[in-house]
């Protein structure tokens, strides 16, 4: 069902020196399934992350934030599927910490050098002892296996990579992600982990992770919901042998940030391509806005309109719905007569209504495609944003209505 | 398909002295269908309205606002279905004005004493001449016929009424509405017209119409979209023979405002009951909030979550989705440990997670009902709000995906 998305093989995903990946079977929700993933990091690694803004955020998110604040350096990442450890109160936080302690004992570090991540059912106690028992039996694997191990109801494992050469030395970026709605039915969470062997100074990395999230994971939407567990982590192992990056303006910094951004965007859009019931991948470009915030607001209003999403599903060039969504985005001083709207390269609306030369068959031709770009030209300023989404299909309702019942 | 909603007969809907209603067949979209409705008002009538905040608002909305600002008094209301006259630019505004001129000639008043309303397809030119021709052939009818004549894809005509006695004299309130999503597929618009024979001073009525809209039409949502044509009008003909109302505190004022509010809420919730594909009617009460705005924000976040809506459709007591929506409503300082949530009278969540005594079968029993109340107790303050919505079903996708294709 995923729109133009295929799994990547081990060969396609470069190893990142300074990270060893393991998976194991704890039997959290299913037997004979890899449901825990352990990443062990070299002591040189810098780690930074951004987390869900949902106020009901999960226990592991609390613990991740606390451990990152301790600034002792991160030596391991432990991820489980099958249970989100969300809506579990103090007991859930204790469970997450006990798992960190067990990992720490195994690899000889402090418990607050371990970051825990969970994804799966909300409101059920985490079977922490199963995870702790399984830790001693994990097996070393490559990124492709980890991409599968962190899946819940994703239909395709999601991985992306870039390699660049700076000063004759190769730098690699490899990342994985999971998620198929911003929230899955009871199976919460978008998780993504990107690693590079570049050496990036802590504060720079902290800033980058936010900037990169804003242009990737914060630009996608399936159903407008933000999960209790959403997390995005960048790891810089520093093993490439190149100089440490501590500002944005060197050739190396630009190249590495660019590679990280590309991998993040590829993973973020992979989540949309694998969106629940998705049959189409839609890019919404809002240009010539006064501020980036208003461009994003209009993009998201279009992307979240169930009427727009069902029109894409039906391949119906129902332009009134798109214009209506623009008008509905809460920009009080928007002059609708100035707006031009394109479907791919077809001008469909201008001067507050249908474009004079627009023909229904041109719109219909574009709407039949699997990948469509809606471009909105506001003629108000110089800012812009792109939002990525999918259509709303019968399968979305089926997946979400039938999941538990 | 509508949830506990039936049509009202002529006998059930009291005549409002000072309003004569006519319908006619202009053949705008279909032949042999009443598609224009004319209300002629006594010169004593006061009229006030609230209109869509969509920036792509329709031509008749522009003209209504202009004519109300002229303050010459409103003598007629003309409504057409089959075409929304939206996204039609200057030409559309000219069409709406020409129709007002034709109505004015027929009933001997000024064109700016006529308010025009349109509902139907967006982005197509209004066949104004058909409407003007049909005006001379309209026939007098009762409220029930008007309720049917303003329908587009509504499945049930929507009317409501209250009668009260003040100082031994009877005052009547009768209203009609149309709408089945905040937007119908291409068939835009929520319209509502409520009339009373009470005598209400202009500024009081102006204030009331906003306050009443905020507690009725601004508390319902089917799919979160606001149409280009949404309009709500109150007419006070002043024919009851009772004293003019010019403040809020007399016994008469309280009784009349209350009756108007009840009719508005009944019509607003009727729109939700007839929501596209609706199988359930959901009331979301948010209590003990710091501000009314935050209560509404939380209510709407729950009501707009596709995951919550599909869970209701599936009768699935998937409480994580409800909590997740609360956490996702953007209230930065929300203490989730303090929140209690009830499904009807069953306590389902407290202390940041599942309530200790909650049993899945209790939740399942409530979720099977056709009418369900979600009550959220925030323990933050004294404000509250109720939001009314419906579930998201396969039929919603079918109706919206298959409409034009």
pLDDT at residue B167 in the model: 85
Among A88, A189, A204, A283, which one carries the catalytic annotation? Answer: A189
Put simply, the chain B residues between 263 and 302 with a CB less than 8 A from any chain A CB are none
Rounded Cα distance between B257 and B205, Å, is: 9
What's the sign of the alpha-carbon dihedral A314, A318, A323, A325? negative
**A374-391 residue pLDDT tens:** 999 999 999 999 999 988
pLDDT at residue A41 in the model: 96
Higher pLDDT, B232 or A328: B232
**CB contact B62 to A (< 8 Å):** no
Rounded Cα distance between A301 and A319, Å, is: 15
- Residue B224 — pLDDT band, cuts 50, 70, 90? low
For residue B334, give the chain A residue with the closest CA: A55
Lowest pLDDT segment from A224-233, A335-344, B273-282, B383-392: A224-233
First to last CA, chain A: 22
Higher pLDDT, B221 or A79: A79
Convert A118-139 to b/e letters by CB count within 10 Å (16 or more is b): bbbbbbbebbbebbbebbeebe
Residue recorded with tokens 């294709």: B405
Judging contacts by C-beta atoms under 8 Å, the chain B residues touching residue A56 are: 323-324, 326-328, 336, 352
The helix or strand, by DSSP H or E, that contains position B81, with its residue range, turns out to be strand B76-83
For residue A121, give the chain B residue with the closest CA: B320
DSSP structure string for B276-313:
TT---EEEEEEEEESSHHHHHHHHHHHHH-HHHHHHHH
Q: Across chain B, what does the average pLDDT equal? A: 90
CB-count exposure of residue B42 (10 Å: 0-12, 13-18, 19+): middle
pLDDT at residue B21 in the model: 97
The rounded percent of chain A whose pLDDT value lies above 70 is 95
Q: How many CA atoms lie within 13 A of B220 on its CB side?
A: 26
B380 pLDDT above the threshold of 80: yes
Put simply, the chain A residues between 302 and 321 with a CB less than 8 A from any chain B CB are 304-307, 310-311, 313-316, 318-321
Higher pLDDT, A183 or B328: B328
Residue A234 contacts residue A48 (beta carbons within 8 Å): yes
**CB contact B125 to A (< 8 Å):** no
Taking residues A248-273, report their average pLDDT. 93
A187 pLDDT above the threshold of 50: no
Selected for mutation to probe chain B from A401, A403, A405 (highest B CB count within 10 Å) is A401
**B367-379 residue pLDDT tens:** 999 999 999 999 9
pLDDT at residue A405 in the model: 33
- Residue B152 — pLDDT band, cuts 50, 70, 90? confident
The rounded percent of chain B whose pLDDT value lies above 70 is 95
Q: Which of A97-111, B309-323, B325-339 has the highest mean pLDDT?
A: A97-111
Neighbours of A241 (CB within 10 A): 12
Lowest pLDDT segment from A180-184, A288-292, A294-298: A180-184
**CB contact A185 to B (< 8 Å):** yes
Counts for chain B of helices (H) and strands (E), in that order: 11, 17
Judging contacts by C-beta atoms under 8 Å, the chain A residues touching residue B397 are: 310, 313, 392-394, 396-397
Rounded Cα distance between B369 and B233, Å, is: 34
Q: Which two tokens stand for residue A287?
A: 């240009």
Catalytic residues of B: 189
pLDDT at residue A351 in the model: 82
pLDDT at residue A183 in the model: 44
Rounded Cα distance between B273 and B271, Å, is: 5
Which residue from A123, A314, A349 is facing B402, i.e. has the nearest CB? A314
Residue recorded with tokens 């567990």: A229
**B182-195 residue pLDDT tens:** 444 444 468 999 99
Taking residues A244-273, report their average pLDDT. 93
A400 pLDDT above the threshold of 80: no
**A73-102 residue pLDDT tens:** 999 999 999 999 988 888 999 999 999 999
In angstroms, the separation between the Cα of residue A241 and the nearest Cα of chain B is: 43
pLDDT at residue B404 in the model: 44
**A119-173 residue pLDDT tens:** 988 888 999 999 999 999 999 999 999 999 999 878 899 999 999 998 889 999 9
Q: Across chain A, what does the average pLDDT equal? A: 90
Judging contacts by C-beta atoms under 8 Å, the chain A residues touching residue B55 are: 326-329, 331-332, 334, 336
pLDDT at residue B186 in the model: 44
Secondary structure letter of residue B192 according to DSSP = E
CB contact under 8 A, B56 and A337: no
A396 pLDDT above the threshold of 80: no
pLDDT at residue B78 in the model: 98
Residue A209 contacts residue A175 (beta carbons within 8 Å): no
Which residue from A89, A314, A393 is facing B405, i.e. has the nearest CB? A314
Q: Which two tokens stand for residue A269?
A: 């859009």
- Look at the pTM and tell me if it is higher than 0.90: no
**A32-79 residue pLDDT tens:** 999 999 999 999 999 999 998 888 889 999 999 999 999 999 999 999
Residue B311 contacts residue B341 (beta carbons within 8 Å): no
Q: Is A189 a catalytic site residue?
A: yes
CB contact under 8 A, B404 and A314: yes
Lowest pLDDT segment from A395-399, B4-8, B69-73: A395-399
Which residue from B122, B397, B404 is facing A324, i.e. has the nearest CB? B122
pLDDT at residue A52 in the model: 85
Selected for mutation to probe chain B from A400, A402, A403, A404 (highest B CB count within 10 Å) is A400
pLDDT at residue A205 in the model: 96
**CB contact B336 to A (< 8 Å):** yes
Higher pLDDT, B189 or B405: B189
Tally A–B CB contacts below 8 A.
Answer: 212
The rounded percent of chain A whose pLDDT value lies above 90 is 67
Which residue from A86, A89, A223 is facing B307, i.e. has the nearest CB? A223
In angstroms, the separation between the Cα of residue B122 and the nearest Cα of chain A is: 6
In angstroms, the separation between the Cα of residue A334 and the nearest Cα of chain B is: 7
Which residue from A337, A353, A400 is facing B307, i.e. has the nearest CB? A400
The domains found in chain B, sorted by start residue, are 10-273 (3.60.70.12), 281-402 (3.10.20.340)
**CB contact A398 to B (< 8 Å):** yes
């Amino acid at each position: 069902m995923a729109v133009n998305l295929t799994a990547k093989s081990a060969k396609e995903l470069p190893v990142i020196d300074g990270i060893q990946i393991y998976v194991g079977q704890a039997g959290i929700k299913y037997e004979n399934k890899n449901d825990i993933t352990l990443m062990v990091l070299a002591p040189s690694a810098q780690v930074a992350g951004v987390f869900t803004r949902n106020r009901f955020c999960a226990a592991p998110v609390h613990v991740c934030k606390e451990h990152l604040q301790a600034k002792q350096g991160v030596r391991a990442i432990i991820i489980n599927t099958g249970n989100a450890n969300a809506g579990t109160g103090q007991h859930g936080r204790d469970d997450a910490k006990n798992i960190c302690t067990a990992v720490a004992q195994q690899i000889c570090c402090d418990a607050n050098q371990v970051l825990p991540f969970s994804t799966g059912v909300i409101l059920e106690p985490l079977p922490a002892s199963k995870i702790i028992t399984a830790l001693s039996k994990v097996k070393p694997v490559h990124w492709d296996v980890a991409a599968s191990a962190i899946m819940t109801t994703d239909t395709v494992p999601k991985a992306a990579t870039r390699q660049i050469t700076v000063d004759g030395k190769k730098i690699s970026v490899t990342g994985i992600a999971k998620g198929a709605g911003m929230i899955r039915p009871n199976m919460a969470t978008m998780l993504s982990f990107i690693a590079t062997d570049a050496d990036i100074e802590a504060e720079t990395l902290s800033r980058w992770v936010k900037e990169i999230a804003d242009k990737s994971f914060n630009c996608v939407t399936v159903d407008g919901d933000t999960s209790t567990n959403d997390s995005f982590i960048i790891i810089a192992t520093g093993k490439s042998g190149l100089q440490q990056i501590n500002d944005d303006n060197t050739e190396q910094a630009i190249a590495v940030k660019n590679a990280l951004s590309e991998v993040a965007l590829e993973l973020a859009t992979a989540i949309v391509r694998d969106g629940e019931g998705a049959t189409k991948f839609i890019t919404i470009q809002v240009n010539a806005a006064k501020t980036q915030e208003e461009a994003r607001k209009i993009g998201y209003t279009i992307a979240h309109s169930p009427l727009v999403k069902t029109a894409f599903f039906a391949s119906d060039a129902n332009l009134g719905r798109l214009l209506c969504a623009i008008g509905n985005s809460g920009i009080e001083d928007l002059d609708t007569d100035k707006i031009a709207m394109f479907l791919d390269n077809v001008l469909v609306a201008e001067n507050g209504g249908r474009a004079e030369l627009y023909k229904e068959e041109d719109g219909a031709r574009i709407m039949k495609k699997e990948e469509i770009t809606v471009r909105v030209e506001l003629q108000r300023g110089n800012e812009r944003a792109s939002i990525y989404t999918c259509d709303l299909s019968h399968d979305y309702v089926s997946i979400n209505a039938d999941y538990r019942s």
